[in-house]
Structure 1
Amino acid sequence: MAVTHRTALRFIPVVAAVALLVTACATPAGGTATPAPAESTASPSLDPTPSATPSPIESQATDDEISLPSSCDELFAGDLRATLDAEIAPLNDPGVTMYSTENAEALTVLESGVPSLRCTWGTPSDRGIATTVSIVSPAQSELIVDALTSSGFGSEEASGGMYFRTSQRMLSMDEEVVDLGETHFLRGNVWVATRWVNYGPDAYTPGIVAQLWP
């Protein structure tokens, strides 16, 4: 039928995404944090006047800003870690090379050299998860929000930040049903980007958020 034909055509990019799980490419394997560039030391202020007390908004922004975790083990704990180990181990198989997003504008930020920690779950197959936690500037965060919103992602305020989600169920050219999607979370100076194929538990990103802001 015509509808089936259109679905098959729409799945062509998805086949490429699944293939990234199966075959290696230039994308780095997970588990290594990319450090932030060294910061220059600022000259001490000569103004003897004490600084003003920060506003509640400024205080919250400071509280929301965190450092990049040093390893993927810091992101997964408790019941979530036990579930992932049981259902889609291992963590950081070097053969899993799927990107954490396929949104072109968001991917540009992800590949721009921002400090990042990449983590994956699963083996090279048609089932897996890729997550990247990145430190972003306010301008980059705004660009990501605009890109995801204009791409039709659903949004929700929760856990002190903003979630963006999208998911699809499609037929491959082999008539196999494939579920896939993305979940993004932005808060303070952090962007958590996750793409999943045939495995995307609801507790996954909230579990990471709970570890980043305990």
Structure 2
Amino acid sequence: MRPDRYVSLIRRGALALVVLSAVALAGCTADPAPTSTSTGDPTPEITTLGETPDASETPSPEPVADISIPASCEDIYSAEMLSLLQADNPPLNDPGVTMDSTEVVEALEVLASGAQTLRCSWGLPSSYGLATNVTIVDASQAQTVIDSLPDRGFACEDFEDGTACRIQRTDEENAFGETHYFRANGWVSTRWINFGPQGYMEDVVATLWG
């Protein structure tokens, strides 16, 4: 065999070996990883450890219990009670009516002591009417009157953040009674003869302290 023929055969054999090696390597290449279709991990859920304390409510201010003397007697009643009084037993503050709002000595002494007070009466001079005093008192004056009432037959009880005391009596001809109400610096005293409108004291209290 000629030398150049021999060299040509060697080159062809080497080329075939290179091609076979490349094919073998291609068969060993790993397939590409599948492409993920996820758009990203979901947002993690945030958990707060422990209990969240309830928001404390701001306490409402206590209502002011002290009162001032009203400008006029009409101001101590609701519109409904004033209308009833004007219809059932006028007039208001007739100068001939001298009835006091109490017969209790200790109470009369406080009224006569110079305590600031507003007196209101209904009716003509007769055995049919009532008289009310709205009075500013200190704690000592109020307690003096309160302490004197049970011995005179008054029944006292807690009422609308204050103390209410009542008595009612009758004789052969008349029905009469008294009511007293104490709260903070206020004292409402009422004496009536044959004319005691239902809910009278309660209406005055609700109007003054409402």
Q: Above 0.5 in TM-score?
A: yes
Structure 1 ranges of 4+ moved more than 6 A = none
Aligned alpha-carbon RMSD (Å): 1.5
- 1:124 Cα deviation after fit: 0.8
Aligned to 2:100: 99
Aligned to 2:125: 124
Question: 5+ residue gaps in structure 1?
Answer: 1-55, 172-176
Aligned to 1:191: 187
Question: Tell me, what secondary structure is at the counterpart of 1:69?
Answer: coil
Question: Tell me, what secondary structure is at the counterpart of 1:83?
Answer: helix
Aligned pair count reads: 151
Deviations 1:26-63 (A, max 9, x none): xxxxxxxxxxxxxxxxxxxxxxxxxxxxxx9xx75x71
- 1:149 Cα deviation after fit: 2.0
Aligned to 2:152: 151
Once the two structures are overlaid, the 10-residue window that deviates more, 187-196 or 198-207, is 198-207
CA distance in structure 1 between the aligned counterparts of 2:193 and 2:199, rounded to whole angstroms = 16
CA distance in structure 2 between the aligned counterparts of 1:188 and 1:149, rounded to whole angstroms = 20
Higher relative contact order (CA 8 A, sep 6+): 1
Question: Tell me, what secondary structure is at the counterpart of 2:125?
Answer: coil
- 1:202 Cα deviation after fit: 2.6
Deviations 1:178-213 (A, max 9, x none): 000000100000000000000112311111111101
Q: Give the share of equivalent positions with the same residue, in percent.
A: 44
**Which of structures 1 and 2 has the bigger CA Rg?**
2
CA distance in structure 1 between the aligned counterparts of 2:66 and 2:78, rounded to whole angstroms = 21
TM-score of the superposed pair, with normalisation by structure 1: 0.68
Indicate whether 1:178 and 2:179 are aligned.
no
Question: 5+ residue gaps in structure 2?
Answer: 1-58
CA distance in structure 2 between the aligned counterparts of 1:131 and 1:85, rounded to whole angstroms = 15
CA distance in structure 2 between the aligned counterparts of 1:73 and 1:119, rounded to whole angstroms = 9
TM-score of the superposed pair, with normalisation by structure 2: 0.69
Question: Tell me, what secondary structure is at the counterpart of 1:108?
Answer: helix
Aligned to 1:73: 74
